[in-house]
A and B are shown apart, each in its own frame.
Chain A
Amino acid sequence: MNVMIRTILFSFAILLSNFAYASPDATTIFCQKYPNSGLCEDQAASCNVCHAGPPSLNDYGLSIKENIGGDLITNLPDALGKIEAIDSDGDGASNLTEIEENAHPGNADVKPGKDITVEYDRKMAFKRMKANYCGESATYQELKGLEAAADPKDYMHKALDVCLASDYWVKEALHRLADNKIMPNAAIGFGGSVVIGDYRFDYRLFSYIMSGGRDARELLSADYHVDENYNKIEGTVAREEGLQLGERIVIAGGQPLEVGRRVGMITTQWFLSNNTMFADLPRNSASQAYRAYLGLDLAKGEGLMPVPNEPRDVDNIDIAKPECAVCHSTLDPLAYSFASYRGIEIGVFDLLLNRIGTYNEGRTDWGGDGVIFGQPVQDLMEWASVARESDAFKKNLANMIFTQALSRKPFPHETAEFDALWQGLAAENYSVNAMIHRFVEMGSFGGKIK
């Protein structure tokens, strides 16, 4: 059912994408010229630097068009230079200023934000902290306590520790943060009418790793699971419900994947079942892993890093043509590493032995051909190790925590704080709790504009 909906949506997306999607070569040239621009933070700029929504160009894209005089790729560096002093979107800041100061040259709503000063307000920060991490409204007594405290900062951080260990944070807020990564669906999850996996494991694993000061890189490396009491389970986990093929269909459950082939959230039975489904080349699994844990959404043109001579069209769907290759020269090599893990397979043995989501080296011929961030990788273990050590992984963690708390992305004037947020992760062993303790002290969390 899901598959059909996806196929239909896909045909639609393909129809829409038949016009010239921004060339990834063009974004690469842009970022070679402006490597320090905020627009190139994710190694390659995304299409929206020049496009309002393809195919239409935004004001900056139009300026380029007017100044290009010939072939896009050869003339682009020149054209970019020519329009640096112009203010294409008419917001009062030149294109170069916008590119260098984390704003946007083709969107008048996004201007450099250097002149904004904020003043930290601890009372407000305390209230936000209680609401966001405890799911409670700060009380009159608590705020009096804050006022009277000899060390208000310490008072707040002690309260934050309590919140970060609370059921609200661990079993509710973090679960909601995981929703768009796990993508649950009651009809096909545990207890549903056609059970293809048990995503309760996914939620628990996510919350466990994101709390308790644990190393968040385990999102892409954990070889264990977590039970209802949030204790680790080592080894494989048997399914709770046996195979059923009657009125209810139960074809999966537990965690059958061998420990040595696990890399956290992207090798749970649910993840592989729900994303790989019946595909030989699990593009959806790769794309969802890239989106959920590296913050790069290929469907929006983010994180394009084309691999030469790809896509090879391993599954013969004529995907090497340019309008598909724009994205699939990045996506297909990303997806090869997922091909050695079974999706939904319905052979008798697969069903009897609970094989969905298990490892099968010989599943395809291309399981060893993966490439992520330009780096060839032999298998998903290596893929995940490159992924979890990347800046994209850290930025995504910081972005998750930032947007969860403030319901928005950083403003341009907050770029330095945001960078400090993710850049500080390594020194704290990737503890999300430690990152939150730093975050609540920042102007973006507790500041008022002066």
Chain B
Amino acid sequence: MKNLAILLLTAVLGSGLASCTKQKFKNASSSPSHAPGSKDGNDPAANKTPDDPKEEGMLVWKRYRAFEKGLMAGLELSKDQLCQEIETFNCIDKVHLTVLGGNDPFENGQHERAERPSVLTAVAVSRVLMAACSQRADLDLQAGSAGASVFKHFDLGAAAPTDAQIQAQATELFQRLLARDPSTEELSAIVDAKGNFASNRGLAVGICYAVGTHVENIFI
């Protein structure tokens, strides 16, 4: 139920991972043109990708480290506070490294990184975002609205926020995660989606997730 609400919000922002998985991820960084078929020779799908430098082909994948540091700075979390698999293995450096654009040459003999994201990239981005947004919400909830650092525009534990508070919170998250102000359409889409969330905390995490999984946070 809660997840459904988040997906709905992500969808209305027109930015969700679902859409980028289908289109952007497939077309981004299309194969090089100088060495046709050679570097990508064993990937039949890559050979079919047109070499036209359309917008998608010109986009640059924001790889693991910039993605991680962006979340750490934007949500004021330390590296350890980001997603950890069974509380031990860092999701970015270990578990999802490859699909987030990195490579481990030493233990895994991966001497090259992936050229472009895969469908699993969306899964990893989604997981890391959900963990980070939830972590920040828990910390801010504990700190209370006076001490909260990110979710400070409405009380996470109290009654329903006003539209103005939601907009202020959304603006804060756009600035923190996408380095820009939201458009009026984006703000009203978020306000319209508030009814889908059962709690203030759920709403806060939902906005955070929807903004953080925006295609602008994955491609530059």
Q: Which of A109-117, A340-348, A377-385 contacts B (4 or more CB under 8 A)?
A: A109-117
Query: A53-B41, A172-B65 are contacts. A185–B106 as well, Cβ < 8 Å?
Result: yes
Q: Would you call A53 and B179 a contact (CB within 8 A)?
A: no
Instruction: List the B side residues contacting A168 at CB < 8 Å.
Output: 65
Q: Would you call A448 and B112 a contact (CB within 8 A)?
A: no
Query: A376-418: contact bitstring with B at CB < 8 Å (1 yes, 0 no)?
Result: 0000000000000000000000000001011111111100000
Q: Would you call A107 and B65 a contact (CB within 8 A)?
A: no
* CB within 8 Å of A: which B114-155 residues: 115-116
Q: Would you call A103 and B33 a contact (CB within 8 A)?
A: yes
Instruction: List the B side residues contacting A46 at CB < 8 Å.
Output: 35, 38
Query: CB < 8 Å: which of A41, A130, A407, A449 contacts B54?
Result: A449
Question: Please, how many residues of chain B have a CB less than 8 angstroms from a CB on the other chain?
Answer: 50
* CB within 8 Å of B: which A88-144 residues: 102-104, 106-107, 109-111, 113, 116, 124, 127-128, 130-132, 134-140, 142-143
Q: Would you call A138 and B179 a contact (CB within 8 A)?
A: yes
Name the residue on B nearest A39 (C-beta): B34
Q: Would you call B36 and A131 a contact (CB within 8 A)?
A: no
Q: Would you call A135 and B106 a contact (CB within 8 A)?
A: no
Q: For the complex, what is the distance from the CA of A137 to the CA of B72, rounded to whole Å?
A: 10
Q: For the complex, what is the distance from the CA of A118 to the CA of B41, rounded to whole Å?
A: 29
Query: A44-87: contact bitstring with B at CB < 8 Å (1 yes, 0 no)?
Result: 00101000110000000000000000000000000000000000
Q: For the complex, what is the distance from the CA of A431 to the CA of B119, rounded to whole Å?
A: 38
**A241 CB-CB contact with B under 8 Å:** no
Q: Would you call B36 and A406 a contact (CB within 8 A)?
A: no
**B73 CB-CB contact with A under 8 Å:** yes
Q: For the complex, what is the distance from the CA of A107 to the CA of B39, rounded to whole Å?
A: 14
Query: CB < 8 Å: which of B29, B66, B105, B115 contacts A131?
Result: B66
**B10 CB-CB contact with A under 8 Å:** no
Query: A127-B179, A137-B74 are contacts. A411–B37 as well, Cβ < 8 Å?
Result: no
Closest approach, in angstroms, between the C-beta of B140 and any C-beta of chain A? 19
Instruction: List the A side residues contacting B73 at CB < 8 Å.
Output: 136-137, 139
Query: A38-B34, A109-B36 are contacts. A137–B66 as well, Cβ < 8 Å?
Result: yes
Q: For the complex, what is the distance from the CA of A412 to the CA of B38, rounded to whole Å?
A: 16
Q: Would you call A137 and B70 a contact (CB within 8 A)?
A: yes
Query: A113-B53, A407-B61 are contacts. A104–B33 as well, Cβ < 8 Å?
Result: yes
Closest approach, in angstroms, between the C-beta of B27 and any C-beta of chain A? 12
**A258 CB-CB contact with B under 8 Å:** no
* CB within 8 Å of A: which B29-65 residues: 29-39, 41, 47, 49-51, 53-55, 57-58, 60-63, 65
> B: which residues have CB within 8 A of A?
29-39, 41, 47, 49-51, 53-55, 57-58, 60-63, 65-67, 69-70, 73-74, 102-103, 105-107, 109-113, 115-116, 175-176, 179-180, 217, 220
> A: which residues have CB within 8 A of B?
38, 41, 46, 48, 52-53, 102-104, 106-107, 109-111, 113, 116, 124, 127-128, 130-132, 134-140, 142-143, 168, 172-173, 176, 179-180, 182-186, 189, 300, 403, 405-413, 447-449
Nearest 5 Cβ contacts at the A-B interface: A137-B70, A409-B32, A131-B66, A135-B65, A107-B36
Known: A109-B50, A180-B111, A186-B106. 8 other contacts (CB 8 A): A127-B179, A139-B179, A176-B102, A179-B112, A184-B106, A189-B106, A407-B61, A407-B115
Q: List 29 A-B contacts (CB under 8 A).
A: A38-B34, A46-B35, A46-B38, A109-B31, A109-B36, A130-B66, A131-B60, A135-B66, A136-B66, A137-B67, A137-B217, A139-B179, A140-B179, A140-B180, A142-B179, A172-B65, A176-B113, A179-B112, A180-B111, A185-B109, A186-B107, A407-B29, A407-B61, A407-B115, A407-B116, A408-B30, A409-B34, A411-B51, A448-B55
